[in-house]
Structure formats: structure tokens, C-alpha cells
Structure 1
Amino acid sequence: MKYSFTLLGIVIMLLVGCSSQTPSDDISGNMTVGMVFDVGGRGDKSFNDAAYKGLEMSRDSLGVDIVYIEPSGEGADREAALRQLAADPAIEVIFGVGLLFSEDISTMAEEFPEKYFVCIDYQPKAGAMIPRNLSGIAFEDKRGSFLAGALAGLSTKSGTIGFIGGMESNIIKRFENGFSAGAKYVNPDVKVISGYIGMTGSAFANPAKGKELALGQYARGVDIIYQAAGLSGVGVVEAARETGNLVIGTDRDQGELAPGYVLTSITKAIDRTVFTTVEQVQSGTFQGGRMNVFGLDGRYTDYVYNTNNASLIGDDVHVRVEGIRQQIIDGELSAD
């Protein structure tokens, strides 16, 4: 059964029904999980879609009911959306998808101590304690970006590669810095050109601007661009296709967007992380009051190498990058 209603212009979908159970240290039976998406919403072929896949996996495999809220505009109503879910007694677990939720979800966790909160790409405030009922999820994005840089540095033919980020922020800067470091580690003479789409959350939902920046970089001799721009990255992929160049995607495998033009994608197993966290709540093993980092070990942060892009990467490059990956895991090489 499916329900919908409107809050401040946000559409909320309730799938399957509701549970009235209050969370405890040992939750059994059915429960309801809520999620508020980042700017761009579902259909971004990136961050939000990966989170939604995890929500669907939780519904289908764990038997939970799910509720989700699409953002409106630049997503300025994050606090209102989180509060709406938290105020509903049927909802025990609430996810905020994206770094921009960090402050608001911390406030909600303190106001609603009986609920479980989870923030993907959480950025804790310096010196502040993370509420015991909040799990801050982070990925080894800088290490993953280091591998992206290594792949680009080993694969470039022009000697010039590019980076395009969405919102200029500390997290996206980590992508840029990791990418540049990885490229120069394997190819000290490589040139890296960087650009950002904007300074606000809307920078993650502007494919036209992403395409414009990418076309500009390709015109300057760049032959591979690493994009970390959410929905805006779809425009970067389209520019690669139009110009016959290569692009590296983010968050999920984006090879299907432009087969033959996506060198690889740096993936965050957001879907597996959402599923694992819901499973922990059900079993009473929720990891709250702390940052939970999912990295190269276990391939929660990884790069895509499969039959669709193996010919683009090549055996020699793959072997070299796998070696670098293992060196980072073993602590023999610093990519932080």
C-alpha cells in the first residue's frame, strides 16, 4: 500500500505501511525507516540513488517499512523534513543523505533521544560530542580519489587531466586533493585542472553547468575528468561522450550513462551501508555516538573494474592500481 502527503512542498511517500513500535536496544518484528534525500533527489544516478537502493534492500530483505522525503529547491528545508519524520511515532530510524544534514541531524538527535539517526558523509562540529543515538557515516573518499588519480595518471594520453566538484566544501576538496595526489604519485609530470560548480547545495543539481565546465576543460587539452558533483556530474559524463574523451564517475557505477567513455567510477557502498545500519538497529548493535568509516578494506570504498571497462583500463594499469590499493590498506603508502 502506498500513501503520500505534502509538507512545505516536499512529497513524502510511505510504502507498505507503518509500525508503531518504539526503538529500544533490542528491536524485533517490523519497524519503519525514514530517509531524507540530498539536493537532486532520487534519479541523480549517484549519491541519492545509491542510498535509496539501500533503503529498498532493507525493505525487501529485512522486512522494514520505508518512508522517504524528496528535497525541494536547494534543500533548505532539511530541518523541517527531519523533524517531520522524527515526530512520527511509527518511525524509529532516520537517515539524512549528505554532508549538508550534519548540523540539523545532530540537533534532531538531541531533541529526539528515543530515535536512531544516521547521517551519510557526516561532518561533526569541531570539539562537539556526537549524540549517542546518531551514527556518523563516512567513507575513505580521499583514498578512493587517490586511486582515481592513479588510474587517470596512468591512462592519460595528453598529460592533462581534470577535476570537477559540485559544492566547494571540505569533503569535495578531499576528493580533489586525493585525486591530484594519486595522479602525481604515478605520473609526476601530469597536469591537473580543477573547477567547482558552485558554493551552495544547488551545485550538486546543475547538470548544465557541469557539462559547461567539462567542455571547457576538454577544450584545454584534458582527456580524463574525475567528477564529484552529484546530479551535476551527469552533465560531465555527457560532455565526455560528446567530445570522445573519458570521465571518472563517483558514488556508484556510472558506466551505463556513457558506455565506452566512463574509465571507471569511485564507488561508495552507500547501499550496503544503509542496509548494514538498519540490520544493526534490528539486532541491537547500532553503532551510535561515533564516526563509522567504511573504506578500501572490504571494498566499501572502491573503483569499478569489470567486463564493461576492463579494455579501457588495461591489465597493466589494473595490476598497478590493485597494488597501490593494497599498499594503502597495509599502511605502506599514505593517501590521507
Structure 2
Amino acid sequence: MRRVSLALLVAAPLLTLCTAQAASFTVGLAFDLGGRNDQGFNQAAYEGARRAVDETGGSVQTYEPKTLAEVGKGISGLADRGASVVIGIGFANNDAVSAAASGHKDTRFVTVDDLPKGDNTVGLRFREQEGSFLAGYLAGKQSATGRLGFIGGVDIPVINRFRAGFVAGAKFACPSCKVTVAFVDTSSQGFNNAKKATQIAAGMMKSGVDVIYAAAGASGQGLVEQVRTQPCLKASALPAGIKFRSNAFSGVPRSAAEQKVCAGDSRPTFYIGVDVNQNGLGDFDKNPTTLNHGLTSVLKRVDNAVYSVVKEVAEGRPWRAGDRSFGLSNGGIALAVDQYNRALIPDTMQANLDTVEKLIVSGTLKVPAK
């Protein structure tokens, strides 16, 4: 009994110390425009941070800007309130991250999508062009018109990596295909303007574009809404010089409502989602067995990247400052295939995508980043 009691007495302070450490560990997340529930990388970052603290203990504090002028304003405040690691989501937070890091040397700082300055900082960056190449390849092979579209939030390097990969993949699959490119805005507001994205998508469809890829944050919801409004292109409405070249989805069942709207010689329209799995947003009739309009989603595993760096800090592992790169080879980038789009990607096409992915990972196939 005395041995057991002594063991308990020794263990009790350790248990109290571990509990106190878990309770004091805080992750500070400063979102970009669009907020925590943007169904994009803000949401993914939050999910990654939550997964980490659920395993290690601690809590997550957030700052959510309502306007462009407020982006970055919460970085220092999160550090001042005692966050062990502060994460700025998006390049627009990077200047604030670098500034706060210089004044809070004992705090770890992270920027998603850019490289901050300081020995206590890390940049989580992604090879978006790799997954976008696969999406472009798929779109080029499956398009009925040979006309594709890309909508970027803002004309900046990270978004141009999405664009460059998509265009290259489309051309690799279909040299005669044409890709129309447009950007929502010249400021970060381009990631939070769904109405403008809807207008851009409508214009693209009018020109014969049947598959559109958006890398535009919350603005991408505007593309989904346009596809919902116009779930098909009709041969009679195609511009001069454009004709249907294939009908890759003729064997996929369609809802009665869609059959009515798309009666006659028509082909379905599709969006390609980004950051998180947005395939299900194209299930307009709430029935995955009928044709859905999310061709695929390019997964940018911000959740995995944030999870890994938060766990490092929480577990007291040695800090590795600087740039960290994520792509196809290390689980940072992938294409989403699930119940919503499996019928849109036949086995032969999936085999082709797997082959292309292996060529990219091996370095045999070089994907442009700009």
C-alpha cells in the first residue's frame, strides 16, 4: 500500500503539470476573407488545428476579418493573448505575421501560402500546379466542346500556380483545347465575391465553355451557382465554329428535372472545386446516383499541413523554420474521387490519371508553376 501511495504521490504532480500544459496550449488562427466556413482553405486550416488540439490538448482561438482592411489585424492580438502558435491563413496575412514574429520571439508563427520572415516562422506552401495539372488533364479529356475555363480570385503567384497547372494539363490531354482565364478582382476581395464569379462563369458558358475550374476562395460558390442555373449547354446556343465533339456522360442517369431542362441536343456543364472536397455541391437533386456537376476537386491539404505544424509545437519538437512544400508526393495535393463523381471518371480514365500522377511525382513530367 505504501508503494502504491508513493507512486500516486509522485504521479499526481506530473499529471497536474501535463493537464496544465494542455490547458495553456493555444493555437491562434487568423482567417482570410471568407471566414471559417468558406468551404475552402480557411475551413481546412481550422479543421487541421482542431484535429491537432483534440489529440494533444489545448484550445483554438480565431480572428475573422469582415473587410479587406481587417485582414491581418488580429495576428498580434492572438500572440498577446498567449497563443503558442499563431497561423495566418492566406498571403494577405503574411506581412502581419512577419511583423508580429519580430516582437514575439517566444511564439511560433505560420503563414499558409506565403513565406514569412524570422527564425520563429514557417511558411506552408503548396505545389498547386501538380493537382491542377491532373484536373486540367481530366477536363481536357472529358469536355464536350474543347473549351475550358479558369477563374482565379486574384492575379498573384499562388493562384497562377493553379492556372498554369490546369492549362498545361488540359493541353497535355487535348492540344486543340482552349482555356479562357479570368480573375475576380485585383485585391483580396476577389476571394469573397461570389456574384462576380457567377457573372464570369456565365460569360464563359456563353462562349461554349463546359468545364470551369475556380481557385477563388469563397467566390467559387458563384461558379457552383451558375452551373446550377445552367446545368447544360445546348447545341442550338453554341457560338459559331463550336460543335460538340463527344458525349462522355451519355450513360450516366440524369434526374427528371434535368432531363426536362436539358432536353434535345445538349451536354452537361461542370465546375471543378478547390482546396476541400466540393464534389457534393454539384449534387443538385440530392441523389448521388444521378449525374452530378462537380467533375472533381483539387484538394489542397491545408488541414494536414496545419495539423503537422501544430502537433510539432504542442509536443515540443525541435522547430524547423523556413519553407515547407506540399504536393502529390507527400499528401499535400490530391484529386477528390467519391460517390458524387465516380460515375464521371471511368476506370480507364482513373488509370490514366494514376499514370500521369506517377510521372509528375517521379519528375519525368515537369509541371509549370507560372
Equivalents in 2 of 1:59, 1:175: separation in Å?
31
The answer as to whether partners of 2:301 and 2:332 remain within 8 angstroms in 1 is yes
- How far off its partner does 1:28 sit? 5.4
The one-letter code sitting in structure 2 at the alignment partner of 1:239 is Q
- How far off its partner does 1:221 sit? 0.3
Provide the identity percentage: 34
The answer as to whether partners of 1:240 and 1:247 remain within 8 angstroms in 2 is yes
Q: Does 1:133 align with 2:126?
A: no
The verdict on how the C-alpha distance between 1:256 and 1:287 changes in structure 2, with shifts beyond 3 A counting, is farther
The verdict on how the C-alpha distance between 1:298 and 1:112 changes in structure 2, with shifts beyond 3 A counting, is same
Equivalents in 2 of 1:166, 1:209: separation in Å?
10
Q: Tell me the equivalent position of 1:3.
A: none
The verdict on how the C-alpha distance between 1:286 and 1:312 changes in structure 2, with shifts beyond 3 A counting, is farther
Q: CA RMSD in A?
A: 1.6
Q: Tell me the equivalent position of 1:82.
A: 75
Which consecutive aligned stretches of 4+ in structure 1 deviate over 4 angstroms post-superposition?
none
Normalized per residue, the structure richer in strand is: 1
More divergent stretch after superposition (310-319 vs 157-166): 310-319
Q: Does 1:228 align with 2:215?
A: yes
- How far off its partner does 1:287 sit? 4.4
Q: Tell me the equivalent position of 1:298.
A: 330
Equivalents in 1 of 2:153, 2:29: separation in Å?
22
Matches within 5 A, 1:35-50: 35-50=29-44
Question: Whose radius of gyration is greater, 1 or 2?
Answer: 2
Match of 1:66 among 56, 60, 63: 60
The verdict on how the C-alpha distance between 1:214 and 1:123 changes in structure 2, with shifts beyond 3 A counting, is farther
Match of 1:157 among 140, 144, 147: 144
SS in 1 for 2:45: helix
Gaps of 5+ in 1: 1-20, 22-26, 125-129
The answer as to whether partners of 1:142 and 1:179 remain within 8 angstroms in 2 is yes
The verdict on how the C-alpha distance between 1:240 and 1:292 changes in structure 2, with shifts beyond 3 A counting, is same
The answer as to whether partners of 1:131 and 1:288 remain within 8 angstroms in 2 is no
Match of 1:256 among 280, 294, 298: 280
- How far off its partner does 1:77 sit? 2.7
Match of 2:84 among 68, 85, 92: 92
Deviations 1:143-202 (A, max 9, x none): 111111111111111010000011121111111111101110111111101111000011
The verdict on how the C-alpha distance between 1:171 and 1:286 changes in structure 2, with shifts beyond 3 A counting, is farther
SS in 1 for 2:34: coil
The verdict on how the C-alpha distance between 1:33 and 1:286 changes in structure 2, with shifts beyond 3 A counting, is farther
Q: Does 1:207 align with 2:173?
A: no
SS in 1 for 2:134: helix
The answer as to whether partners of 2:152 and 2:184 remain within 8 angstroms in 1 is yes
Equivalents in 2 of 1:32, 1:287: separation in Å?
17
Gaps of 5+ in 2: 1-16, 232-268, 284-291
Aligned length: 304
Equivalents in 2 of 1:287, 1:192: separation in Å?
43
Matches within 5 A, 1:235-274: 235-244=222-231, 245-259=269-283, 260-274=292-306
Deviations 1:206-247 (A, max 9, x none): 111111111110111001001001000001011112211101
- How far off its partner does 1:313 sit? 1.8
